[in-house]
Amino acid sequence: MGLFGNLFDKFKQGLQRTQELVLAPMQRLLGLRRLDEDQLLELEDLLLQADLGLHAVERLMERLRFEMKRNAEIDPKAVLKDELLKILRQVPSRPLEAKGTQVVLLVGVNGVGKTTTLGKLASHLKSRGEDVLVVAGDTFRAAAIDQLELWGERAGVPVIRNQMGGDPAAIAFDGATSAQAKGTPWVLIDTAGRLHTKDHLMRELDKIHRSLQKVIPEAPHRVILVMDATTGQNGLVQAEAFKAAAGITDLVLTKLDGSAKGGVVVPILERMKLPIAFVGVGEGVDDLIPFDPEAFVDGLLSA
Amino acid sequence: MFESLTEKLTKAMKSLRGETRLTEKNIEDALREVRMALLEADVHVQVARTFLQRVKEKALAQGPDGKGTVVLDGLNPAQQFIDIVYQELTEIMGGTAPEHPLDFASKPPTVVMMVGLQGAGKTTTCGKLAKFLKKLGRSPLLVPADIQRPAAVEQLHVVAQDAGVPSYRTDSKDPVAICKAAVEEARIKGWDTVILDTAGRLHLDEQLMNELVRIQEGTQPNEILFVADAMTGQDAVRSATAFHEKLGLTGVILTKTDGDTRGGAAFSIKHATGRPIKFVGEGEKLDDFQRFHPDRMAQRILGMGDVLTLIEQAKDKIDEKEAEAMAQKLVKNQFTLEDMRSQLQQVKKMGSMQKLIGMLPGMGQMKAQIESVVTDKRMTHLEAILNSMTPRERANHNLLDAKRKRRIAAGAGRPVHEINQLLKQFLEMKKMMGQMKDPRFMKRMAAMKNMPGMPKMPF
């Protein structure tokens, strides 16, 4: 027995060492039952690398220390998951339901994937058998309208446009009017990428709002902030600025198929109580999927 | 957020005023604050750690006897430490900045390959770079090699048109073939710089990364530039490293720096790849494109603009001897227009008036008022007027009659009444300085001398 016991221990030890070497550092730490000060610091660094930001990481570390005070052994992964899910589930996402004519406006800084997201969203709604009208509101970036028209073709939905450099508020107005007259359930409006620090461009969003409301008083029903998963702590400032200027109602997190895990949405959701409607995971038409908090947290904690 | 950081630091450091050397203990708080600043700015955790460790070691061993940097007069240890951090950050980011913006081939065409993730801004940046090169007298050709994103080719053609440069037209759908053919065409037709706009791709996508390698092999680019979004978070290290390992980058272009991001990604990328940041894109227009300034970026990342400015001023700028001579003159009431001019130049050396006023303690409410009177533009005008006088006139203001004033006005390009205004100001100053002999006044001045930002500024 003694021999076997010994062997068994050795085996276990060996396995542990292998695990330490083979497993990603985060996995190794989360597999422990108690963490010493050095290990806590290491974990803190790893969480910061997920773009969670200083504040949220502090909150997570506090919770861990609290649990370790109360219990002899803890499951760090379960603790972190619980705390993160608390933040992510504060506001459940609302499904897109056709009721009369629903106007959806997509906003965000340059290069996050607004046009691509809109294309995917149009396909998704169309495949549910609901009619969609797409409005090419990005009249600034060269060839943005052409890009959107190609997506329209793919999805089999009409795209209305005016010329480059035209007034996005005017074309939004036309779109809403036409959709309402025809009883089209969805109007998806693309807008030009704009940095949240450019006041004149942010005011343009307000103008789009007002012109939509002349047609449908409740419009836009959804204002979706599209955010790139590689975004760092500036995401928080972005979200606040777009909330103030355009009254965003939902987030879409794009490019989650990369190595960035989009951790910045945690501080955003913590502060702003917004739901995440979808996440983008590729360039294909079907690569827009509903947000699954649990899978998202697993991604964050698997680095 | 920046204010609170600076305030916190100032508060934490108050007790340390008067300490003459940097020690492990008196930089503790500064270290923590700088680390937080770096992380808030999205500098990668590991990069921040390595960097701070190095700066700390250096700071503690840098004194004349290797026992810790000497703290400059007027600074506290924390500020001294932040200064070292700032210098080091600037140094690492700029380091060996090459003299020429790009490595041009000795035998044209020079091939520049633009690579990066989706949405970093490659296509727009191609246009900006082309326009930049055109201004240098080169003749660039833009090549659309992004056949992934819908309408990307069309976008590049439009951008090329806006930049006033040609773009390569083809029906081919093979990026490698397009790039090779375009370089060949440039050789024949005499375009001296070929800019390849490749499709945005994830560094995880093996297949697309291999496509880049094939383009590289087929065109032998002189420059492979990684285009990176300044707002990128911690992932910047991973993506930049992956591109660098696969292709051997030669430089980096940072885009979207016109937002309010602190841009720590720039430092992470530089640290991870060791490649220079060559340009920054800073706006919607094709002209919003500049060569990279490491000092500006370092200030931005640290987000401690006012602390850094304060340090800068304490460090030198005001010539001690000149100030001493001035003080002598003041007491003897020999203040001349010449002295006024040299004072004006001293103040100008200290930086813009707006910034200066903003830093004076207790000037908050008065700021707007003062600014309306003492603008930088006005300073420039005053100087122009003084410069248009002859040395004799500056030595003796009584010489200035109507005829001389008209000549000066013409020389400075300012109306005559501004010259009268300046004279009036000068006489008031002179009068005020006459009062300085009054011992009560000198006592008040002595008290003011201890206020930061105030010393040796008689007006």
Give residue A291's pLDDT band: very low, low, confident or very high (50, 70, 90). Answer: very high
Task: Give backbone dihedrals phi and psi of A33, rounded to 5 degrees, phi first.
Answer: -105, -20
Give residue B319's pLDDT band: very low, low, confident or very high (50, 70, 90). Answer: low
Residue B303 has pLDDT above 50, yes or no: yes
| pLDDT for res B321 | 54
CA–CA separation, A273 and B406 (whole Å): 68
According to the CATH classification, is domain B110-302 in 3.40.50.300? yes
B353 three-class SS: helix
Bridge partners of B217?
none
Report the gap between the CA of A116 and the closest CA in chain B (Å).
9
| pLDDT for res B174 | 96
Euclidean distance between the first and final Cα of chain A, in Å? 40
Residue A270 has pLDDT above 50, yes or no: yes
CA–CA separation, A74 and A88 (whole Å): 22
A76 three-class SS: helix
CA–CA separation, A62 and B271 (whole Å): 31
- The residue behind tokens 């702590």 is A233
Residue to substitute from A41, A161, A233, interface B, most B β-carbons within 10 A:
A233
Residue B213 has pLDDT above 50, yes or no: yes
**CB-nearest partner of A197 from B40, B42, B259:** B259
- The residue behind tokens 């801004």 is B121
Instruction: A153-161: list long-range contacts, CB under 8 Å, 24+ apart.
Output: A154/A119, A154/A123, A154/A285, A155/A119, A155/A122, A155/A123, A155/A126, A155/A285, A156/A126, A157/A122, A157/A126, A157/A131, A157/A132, A157/A133, A158/A133, A158/A134, A159/A134, A159/A135, A160/A133, A160/A134, A160/A135, A160/A136, A161/A135, A161/A136
CA–CA separation, A25 and B123 (whole Å): 37
| pLDDT for res B350 | 58
| pLDDT for res B375 | 66
From residue B336, alpha-carbon distances to B201, B341, B392, B394, B430 in Å are 67, 9, 10, 6, 8
Residues in chain A, how many? 303
Tell me the residue type at A270.
E
Chain A residue whose CA is closest to B162: A142
B-chain residues near A116 (CB < 8 A): 149
- Output b/e per residue, A230-259; b: 16+ Cβ within 10 A: bbbbbbbbbbebbbebbebbbbbbbbbbbb
Q: What is the pLDDT of residues B3-31, one digit of tens each?
A: 445 555 566 555 566 677 888 888 888 89
| pLDDT for res B250 | 96
| pLDDT for res B428 | 80
B236 three-class SS: helix
Chain A residue whose CA is closest to B122: A111
- Average pLDDT rounded to a whole number, residues B127-145: 96
Residue bearing the bigger pLDDT, B338 or B270: B270
B-chain residues near A51 (CB < 8 A): 42, 233-235
How many contacts (CB atoms, under 8 Å) link A and B?
141
Give residue B117's pLDDT band: very low, low, confident or very high (50, 70, 90). Answer: very high
| pLDDT for res A163 | 78
Structure tokens that stand for A174 in this block = 């036309």
Q: Do A260 and B39 touch (CB under 8 A)?
A: no
Residue B443 has pLDDT above 70, yes or no: no
The CATH superfamily of B309-450 is Signal recognition particle, SRP54 subunit, M-domain (1.10.260.30)
Q: Do B148 and A283 touch (CB under 8 A)?
A: yes
| pLDDT for res A276 | 96
Contact between residue B344 and residue B383 where contact means Cβ atoms under 8 Å apart: yes
**CB-nearest partner of A54 from B36, B118, B203:** B36
Q: Do A144 and B159 touch (CB under 8 A)?
A: no
Between β-strands A132-137 and A159-160, what pairing exists: parallel, antiparallel or unpaired? Answer: parallel
Q: What is the pLDDT of residues B348-396, one digit of tens each?
A: 665 555 555 544 433 444 455 555 556 677 788 888 999 999 988 998 8
ipTM here:
0.88
Residue ranges in B221-359 assigned as alpha helix (H)? 235-247, 264-273, 294-302, 305-315, 320-332, 337-349, 353-359
Task: Give backbone dihedrals phi and psi of B187, rounded to 5 degrees, phi first.
Answer: -60, -45
Bridge partners of A224?
A106, A250
- A114-123, A265-274, A275-284, B16-25: which has the minimum mean pLDDT? B16-25
Residue B257 has pLDDT above 60, yes or no: yes
Structure tokens that stand for A121 in this block = 């969203």
Q: Where are the domains of chain B?
A: 3-92, 110-302, 309-450
Query: Distance of alpha carbon B403 from its chain centroid, rounded?
Result: 45
Q: Do B256 and A257 touch (CB under 8 A)?
A: no
Chain A residue whose CA is closest to B262: A234
Residue ranges in B69-151 assigned as alpha helix (H)? 77-94, 122-135
CA–CA separation, A141 and A134 (whole Å): 17
Tell me the residue type at A174.
D
CA–CA separation, B328 and B325 (whole Å): 5
**CB-nearest partner of B155 from A110, A143, A237:** A143
CA–CA separation, A252 and A244 (whole Å): 18
Structure tokens that stand for A103 in this block = 């106007």
- Looking at chain A, the whole-number percentage of residues with pLDDT higher than 70 is 92
CA–CA separation, A126 and A115 (whole Å): 16
- A14-18, A76-80, A88-92, B280-284: which has the minimum mean pLDDT? A14-18
Task: Give backbone dihedrals phi and psi of B110, rounded to 5 degrees, phi first.
Answer: -80, 130
**CB-nearest partner of B239 from A45, A259, A263:** A259
CATH number assigned to the domain covering B3-92: 1.20.120.140
Positions of E strands within B25-85: none
Q: Do B45 and A50 touch (CB under 8 A)?
A: no
Q: What is the pLDDT of residues A68-94, one digit of tens each?
A: 999 999 999 999 999 999 999 999 989
Q: Do B121 and A110 touch (CB under 8 A)?
A: yes
| pLDDT for res A8 | 54
Q: Is the pTM of this model over 0.80?
A: no
Element (H, E) at B219: helix B206-219
Q: What is the pLDDT of residues A35-66, one digit of tens each?
A: 999 999 999 999 999 999 999 999 999 999 99
Residue to substitute from B153, B159, B231, interface A, most A β-carbons within 10 A:
B231
* Number of CB atoms found within 10 A of residue A185's CB: 19
Q: How high is the mean pLDDT of chain B?
A: 83
- Output b/e per residue, B159-197; b: 16+ Cβ within 10 A: bbeebebbbbeeeeeebbebbbbbbebbeeeebbbbbbb
Query: Distance of alpha carbon A137 from its chain centroid, rounded?
Result: 22
A-chain residues near B234 (CB < 8 A): 48-51, 232, 260
Euclidean distance between the first and final Cα of chain B, in Å? 33
Q: Do A51 and B235 touch (CB under 8 A)?
A: yes
Positions of E strands within A112-215: 132-137, 159-160, 186-191
CA–CA separation, B116 and B201 (whole Å): 7
CA–CA separation, B339 and B329 (whole Å): 9
Residue B458 has pLDDT above 60, yes or no: no
Q: Is the peptide bond before B109 cis (omega within 30 degrees of 0)?
A: yes
| pLDDT for res A20 | 47
Structure tokens that stand for B101 in this block = 């913006």
DSSP one-letter code for A139: -
CA–CA separation, A219 and A133 (whole Å): 15
Between β-strands A276-280 and A288-290, what pairing exists: parallel, antiparallel or unpaired? Answer: antiparallel
Contact between residue A40 and residue A56 where contact means Cβ atoms under 8 Å apart: no
Which of B256, B41, B305, B300 shows the shortest CA–CA distance to A198?
B256
Tell me the residue type at B12.
A
Q: What is the pLDDT of residues B38-97, one digit of tens each?
A: 999 999 999 999 999 999 998 998 877 778 888 877 777 888 888 899 989 998 888 656
Q: What is the pLDDT of residues B354-364, one digit of tens each?
A: 555 544 433 44
B-chain residues near A58 (CB < 8 A): none
Task: Give backbone dihedrals phi and psi of B278, rounded to 5 degrees, phi first.
Answer: -95, -40
